[in-house]
Amino acid sequence: MKRLWMGTLCLLLCSAAFGQDKEIVIRLTGETVKTENMAVPDFRLESNDPDYAKAVQTLERVLRDDLENSGVFRMLAPERMALVGDPHAGPIKFDEWLSIQAQFLVTGRVKRGDDGEMRVEVRLYEISSQGQILAKAYRGKPRLSRKMAHVIADEIMYLLKGRRYATSKLIYAREASNSVNHRILKELYIMDYDGENALPLTKRGISFAPSAIRKGRDTLLAYSVFERPGTIDATYGIALKPTLASRPRALFREENRRASSPALSPDGSRIAFSMATDGNVDIYVMGLDGTDAYRLTRHPGVDTNPTWSPGGHAILYTSDRTGTPQIYRMDADGLNNQRITRENPYNDSASWNPVHDYIAYVSRFDNDFDIFIMDLKTGSNYRVTSRQGSNEEPCWSPDGEQLAFASNRTGQWQIYAVNLNGMNLRQITREGDNRSPVWVAGD
């Protein structure tokens, strides 16, 4: 099956009985990944409360979506699961589940607690071994059924694949117009990884280029701000939120020195950023309190858009020192600079995979911008998007298996996500103009 928008290839090894039972996917990077069949039949609801019925429907739908979006599980269709019958009526019929090529089975019972909370009893089975992997009860208000589904999906993912992502969040910039003076505003928002529950993080200003990391139980957020636009005193600066609920602190804000593009180090102790000094733009690093800023690059070109390696030992950045923007790598102390990209005349916005030795970046191709992945070990490049508007600002999921990016393919900038195996492209945002996604781990 050739996916034209992606330029990648899937090889399907199909049984005669059902057609799509085993799927071997060739990743964009050339690795093979086996997807496994997951059966998630409807949960049994042991309550007549209509609010519970609606909550259970949401929980089932979100749980299935979470597992499907992982890129390693394929949900069996309801009509196929119906061949086995009610999984809640007596012992699990492993032979019958095996006959429809199910590899894992998730069952659930939902009860109403005396305190009004919803109690969800979940069991996970491996069909081939007839073993029970998980038996756990989850509690919460019916209105929190989406969050409960994300938590359950993450537990299943961790038990089977050693990683989590369903409780992760996306922070991004949304552009809007002030209804009073029609001044363009740009604010930061946070939402669930699937686009639900969007909430503002900033207000009444121009905030953009977010960088965020999980630090303990909180999320540390740095971002660029543009103050007093349209005036002689207009300034760019960098702000920091130690927690998402805290008030922002101005870290670096000096007239005639445009500080922007902050990038938090993986341990949350430093911020790399770009700043214009004496007519030149270079990469700097400073502490979280805005002090001890020191210069890393000293070239006549424009050096910007820094991003850290997962271990914090190196930094990627964009420089036009050779005439066009290209991606460079240097040690965290500014030494050992080397050019990374060479194939296209315009490459920018690098993002370092937190798990694999890959980077994602933007390259101009046929007058549009597209997302590419580079294997740093081999130097090989793999194109992710193609001929669907401009696609920019890639970022990796915390487990390193998905990419989010901004695209104007519909005529308006929206955020999309796709699996590392090149499948399951999905639009995340739909209202307003949304850009600059940053993916952070959840609770």
Count of other CB atoms within 10 angstroms of residue 1: 10
Correct CATH for 169-440 of 3.40.50.10490, 3.40.50.2300, 2.120.10.30, 3.40.1550.10? 2.120.10.30
**Is residue 406 a contact partner of residue 391, using CB atoms and an 8 Å limit?**
yes
- Asked if the domains 31-161 and 169-440 are classified in one and the same CATH topology, the answer is no
Sign of CA pseudo-dihedral 57, 35, 91, 141: negative
Supply the pLDDT for residue 113.
85
**Is residue 364 a contact partner of residue 382, using CB atoms and an 8 Å limit?**
no
**Is residue 1 a contact partner of residue 12, using CB atoms and an 8 Å limit?**
yes
Segments of the chain with pLDDT less than 50: 1-22, 24-26, 180-182, 231-232
**Hey, what CATH topology would domain 31-161 get?**
Rossmann fold (3.40.50)
Can you tell me the distance from the alpha carbon of 188 to that of 186, in angstroms, rounded to the nearest whole number? 7
Domain boundaries, the chain: 31-161, 169-440
Supply the pLDDT for residue 131.
96
Can you tell me the distance from the alpha carbon of 187 to that of 174, in angstroms, rounded to the nearest whole number? 5
The encoded tokens of residue 198 equal 């969007």
Supply the pLDDT for residue 12.
28
Can you tell me the distance from the alpha carbon of 282 to that of 326, in angstroms, rounded to the nearest whole number? 14
Counted residue by residue, the chain has a size of 443
Give 181's Cβ-side CA count (13 Å radius).
5
**Span 379-412, pLDDT tens digits:** 998 899 988 999 999 999 999 999 999 999 999 9
